[in-house]
Structure 1
Amino acid sequence: MTSETRNCQNCKQQFTVESEDFDFYKKISVPPPTWCPQCRIIRRMCFRNERALYRRKCDLCEKGILSMYPEDALFPVYCRDCWYSDKWDPLEYGRDYKWDQPFFGQFRELLRVVPRLAFMSIHTNVNCDYANFLADAKNAYLSYSIVKSENIFYSRFIDTSKECLDSFNAKGSEMIYENLDASRNYNTKYALRSRDSLNSAFLFDCVNCQDCFMSSNLRSKQFVFRNEQCTKEEYKKKLETVDLGSYTIFKDLKKEFAELFGNSLHKFANVTKIVNSMGDGIEDSKNARFCFDVYEVEDVKFGTRMLGSKTCYDIFGAGPGELLYEFMGGGFGSYNIRFGVVTDASRDLTYTDYCTSSGSLFGCVSLRKKEYCILNKQYAKQEYEELTRRIVSQMNSLPYVDEEGREWKFGEYFPTELSPFAYNETVAQEYFPLTKETAVEKGYRWKDREEKSYRVTKQSEDLPDHIKDISDKILDDVIGCNHGGQCNEQCTTAFKVAPFELEFYRRIGVPVPRLCPNCRYYARLKFRNPMRLWTRQCMCIGVGSENKVWKNT
């Protein structure tokens, strides 16, 4: 089939459905989308709350927990032990399908009564009660989307790594601090888009480097100080003049690094070892189109935060799975999942929310090791297959109409008004930020920031300047964030330093931060590219760049 230009049902802008897209939709038996790619990814993001966490009680055992759902959530919320236990049966919430009502309206009613898991956590996770979106993690604290990693603090998108603090999108790394888009780094501080490097600090776009400081665009170098090649002795002597343990000095170094970042040569995209791929943050992948932060994927389009997936479209957050479509979260060992929110080790699911180790489900919530269920009700195989065919037909003849007047037939992801989260609680606000007024105008819910009543015992400006002068007494302090809530970065206004955190700062010789974890996170985001692609000309005109800043050697 040839390419086709369509108008997005949401933003009304034109978008193209390519011939290869039609082939995929035919393969998984879904119609082509009516929303453009950007509107589709925002729609999926509205169902993913990683970092807005709330203290509450488990509705089954009544133990105090931290959860991505607040106390006033419409549905019960269970801790991990209770949710995976035999103390309750999700099939008890099953109901008959009502042929005179749209599917999504019935699914919304089911969502409002079935217990949910407090955090997204699959496989075995140890000592991770204060982290979200985990798979095989150990000792993760206020960290999000962590896979097969250990001792991870205040970080996001971390895979197969150890000892990471305040980092974003790192894999195969160890003992790193403030690393962004890093692969296989060891003992690096402030490394951006750098890989295979060690014993270095303040690197941008450096590969296979060691013992380098405040440098950019290096390849296979050692003993480079501020982009100047040194002998081992010269490098050591110059490095001794820089006291990384002083907050005052560290703050000046961060400003210098920001200038270095702006003045350095930037590759057209952060891509490595790719074949027929296009996007940003792609590594070891083939046929990855319009993808961001993916690695070891093949035949994937419109994917974000993926590892080891094959033949997938429209994904945010997926591990090794195949034939996933319009999917958010999980996917490990899953096959043929259409329209899902968090799935693990399952196959042949359609319109499900947190179902695991299951097969042949349609419109189900929180099922484990089940098959042939519709709206959490058990059926025989033949009856299930007959009913699902009828439901698909009914979804097209009796579509759900949302508050904005948009139609939702079979083939659309969940309507955003079914999300349990406000827009600014989700990752959509991080990638596509809106003001409260604009969000409400677009039909999204908005959650006003709760006033914090922390009793600050020490202002950040009163902390000793040097890490060597920080005593263990700081562990008892509630420290005021430098921003004091006067920013648009979900500032918590105050924070504490944890024992493992203080030990890490001392070990690597950096000062205690003056900002809360949320403000530090948003500072890192400023160094990331937006999730967009542009058609443009390369600035290199042969001998050097057209702005005469760079010269080829």
Structure 2
Amino acid sequence: LQDCENCRDCEFGYDLKGCTNCIGCVGLRKKEYHIFNEPYSPAEFAQKKAALTLDEIIQNFEKLKESTPRKWADIVGSERALGNYIYNSKNVFASFDVVECQDVGYIVECKKVKDSYDITVLENSELCYDCSSNHVLYNCNFCFGCVESSNLEYCELVFNSKDCFGSISLNHKQYQILNKQYEKDAYFKTVAELKDQLRKEGTYGRQYLAPTYPYSDTVASWGRL
């Protein structure tokens, strides 16, 4: 089921509201005993359902989705929003599954995020760029799996920390570069030098962190098992 509300005993439905016992239906409201948007008596429905094959359901359902008029996007309570599934947000560009966000672009599955771009799965955060699967961040770039932290760059699995660069698996840390502790002044001086060098090489801004898990543990390897 996709974009369905208050439905019961329905299969392969799209944009259904308040429906019961519907199979392969699209855009119905408060209907019951329908198959591919055609009504049936309860007895006929049971008989028709028993005779259907999975391939037949999928084929007819996809055809019906293509031929049935639909709302172009699900955008509610939002201003200047482009994308889909955007709710109570403002100034959103090319984004999807967004709730209570403002001044963002190219984000997916985000809630209460501001002034951020190129984000996947983030909430309660501001001033972030090119981050994925994080929670409660401020001014963080190129990070993955970080929580309740600020002023991070190129970090992974860093928690409750701030002012860290190129580090991994830290908790309650500050002024760390490649997991090495620095004094405050030395930290900012070294980070500035590193970033200048990366810019000269044309690599600053790229996601080049080495994976922290073996290939055999990734989804890509599942077909080889």
TM-score range relative to shorter protein = 0.7 to 0.9
Whether contact under 8 Å (1:215, 1:224) holds in the other structure is no
Q: Aligned pair 1:215/2:25, yes or no?
A: yes
Give the alignment's TM-score, normalised by structure 1.
0.36
Deviations 1:316-351 (CA, angstroms, capped at 9, x unpaired): 222332221111222x12211112122111111112
The gaps in structure 2 that reach 5 residues or longer are none
Q: Compared with structure 1, are the counterparts of its residues 421 and 364 closer, same or farther at alpha carbon in structure 2 (3 Å cutoff)?
A: closer
Q: Compared with structure 1, are the counterparts of its residues 241 and 297 closer, same or farther at alpha carbon in structure 2 (3 Å cutoff)?
A: farther
Pick aligned residue for 1:293 from 91, 97, 105: 97
Pick aligned residue for 1:317 from 110, 117, 121: 121
Q: Aligned pair 1:379/2:174, yes or no?
A: no
Which residue number in structure 1 is paired with residue 67 of structure 2?
263
Pick aligned residue for 2:154 from 336, 351, 373: 351
Q: Compared with structure 1, are the counterparts of its residues 291 and 420 closer, same or farther at alpha carbon in structure 2 (3 Å cutoff)?
A: same
For residues 169 and 148 of structure 2, the distance between their equivalents in structure 1, rounded to whole angstroms, comes to 14
Pick aligned residue for 1:340 from 128, 143, 159: 143
For residues 261 and 327 of structure 1, the distance between their equivalents in structure 2, rounded to whole angstroms, comes to 34
Whether contact under 8 Å (2:154, 2:166) holds in the other structure is yes
Pairs within 5 Å for 1:472-511:
none
Report the structure, 1 or 2, having the larger strand content: 2
For residues 205 and 229 of structure 1, the distance between their equivalents in structure 2, rounded to whole angstroms, comes to 17
305-314 or 386-395, which deviates more: 386-395
Pick aligned residue for 2:3 from 168, 193, 198: 193
Q: Compared with structure 1, are the counterparts of its residues 205 and 449 closer, same or farther at alpha carbon in structure 2 (3 Å cutoff)?
A: closer
Q: Compared with structure 1, are the counterparts of its residues 313 and 422 closer, same or farther at alpha carbon in structure 2 (3 Å cutoff)?
A: farther
Q: Compared with structure 1, are the counterparts of its residues 195 and 273 closer, same or farther at alpha carbon in structure 2 (3 Å cutoff)?
A: farther
Pairs within 5 Å for 1:148-227:
191-206=1-16, 208-213=17-22, 214-219=24-29, 221-223=30-32, 225-226=34-35, 227=37
Deviations 1:337-367 (CA, angstroms, capped at 9, x unpaired): 1121221111111121221221111111221
Deviations 1:40-59 (CA, angstroms, capped at 9, x unpaired): xxxxxxxxxxxxxxxxxxxx
Q: Compared with structure 1, are the counterparts of its residues 420 and 385 closer, same or farther at alpha carbon in structure 2 (3 Å cutoff)?
A: closer
Deviations 1:155-209 (CA, angstroms, capped at 9, x unpaired): xxxxxxxxxxxxxxxxxxxxxxxxxxxxxxxxxxxx1333343342332222x32
Measured after TM superposition, the shift of residue 250 of structure 1 is 3.9
Whether contact under 8 Å (1:307, 1:319) holds in the other structure is yes
For residues 178 and 8 of structure 2, the distance between their equivalents in structure 1, rounded to whole angstroms, comes to 52
Whether contact under 8 Å (1:355, 1:367) holds in the other structure is yes
Measured after TM superposition, the shift of residue 314 of structure 1 is 1.0
Give the alignment's TM-score, normalised by structure 2.
0.80
Q: Compared with structure 1, are the counterparts of its residues 238 and 294 closer, same or farther at alpha carbon in structure 2 (3 Å cutoff)?
A: farther
Q: Aligned pair 1:326/2:135, yes or no?
A: no
Whether contact under 8 Å (2:122, 2:136) holds in the other structure is no
Q: Compared with structure 1, are the counterparts of its residues 196 and 381 closer, same or farther at alpha carbon in structure 2 (3 Å cutoff)?
A: farther
Pairs within 5 Å for 1:7-406:
191-206=1-16, 208-213=17-22, 214-219=24-29, 221-223=30-32, 225-226=34-35, 227-228=37-38, 234=41, 236-243=42-49, 249-330=53-134, 332-396=135-199, 398-399=200-201
Which residue number in structure 2 is paired with residue 514 of structure 1?
none
Q: Compared with structure 1, are the counterparts of its residues 373 and 263 closer, same or farther at alpha carbon in structure 2 (3 Å cutoff)?
A: same
Q: Which residue identity lines up with residue 362 of structure 1 in the other structure?
A: F
Q: SS of the counterpart of 1:321? A: strand
Measured after TM superposition, the shift of residue 286 of structure 1 is 2.4
Q: Compared with structure 1, are the counterparts of its residues 385 and 216 closer, same or farther at alpha carbon in structure 2 (3 Å cutoff)?
A: same
Q: Compared with structure 1, are the counterparts of its residues 225 and 273 closer, same or farther at alpha carbon in structure 2 (3 Å cutoff)?
A: farther
Whether contact under 8 Å (1:303, 1:315) holds in the other structure is yes
Deviations 1:391-420 (CA, angstroms, capped at 9, x unpaired): 333333x42xxxxxxx213xx13248x457
Measured after TM superposition, the shift of residue 388 of structure 1 is 2.3
Measured after TM superposition, the shift of residue 448 of structure 1 is 11
Whether contact under 8 Å (1:326, 1:413) holds in the other structure is no
For residues 422 and 292 of structure 1, the distance between their equivalents in structure 2, rounded to whole angstroms, comes to 30
Q: Which residue identity lines up with residue 414 of structure 1 in the other structure?
A: Q
Q: Which residue identity lines up with residue 216 of structure 1 in the other structure?
A: V
For residues 162 and 112 of structure 2, the distance between their equivalents in structure 1, rounded to whole angstroms, comes to 21
Q: Compared with structure 1, are the counterparts of its residues 196 and 357 closer, same or farther at alpha carbon in structure 2 (3 Å cutoff)?
A: farther
Whether contact under 8 Å (2:33, 2:45) holds in the other structure is no
For residues 361 and 376 of structure 1, the distance between their equivalents in structure 2, rounded to whole angstroms, comes to 8
Q: Aligned pair 1:414/2:207, yes or no?
A: yes
Q: SS of the counterpart of 2:5? A: coil
Q: Which residue identity lines up with residue 276 of structure 1 in the other structure?
A: R
Identical counterparts, % of pairs: 24
Number of residue-to-residue matches in the alignment = 222
Q: Which residue identity lines up with residue 282 of structure 1 in the other structure?
A: I
Q: Compared with structure 1, are the counterparts of its residues 198 and 298 closer, same or farther at alpha carbon in structure 2 (3 Å cutoff)?
A: farther
Measured after TM superposition, the shift of residue 303 of structure 1 is 0.7
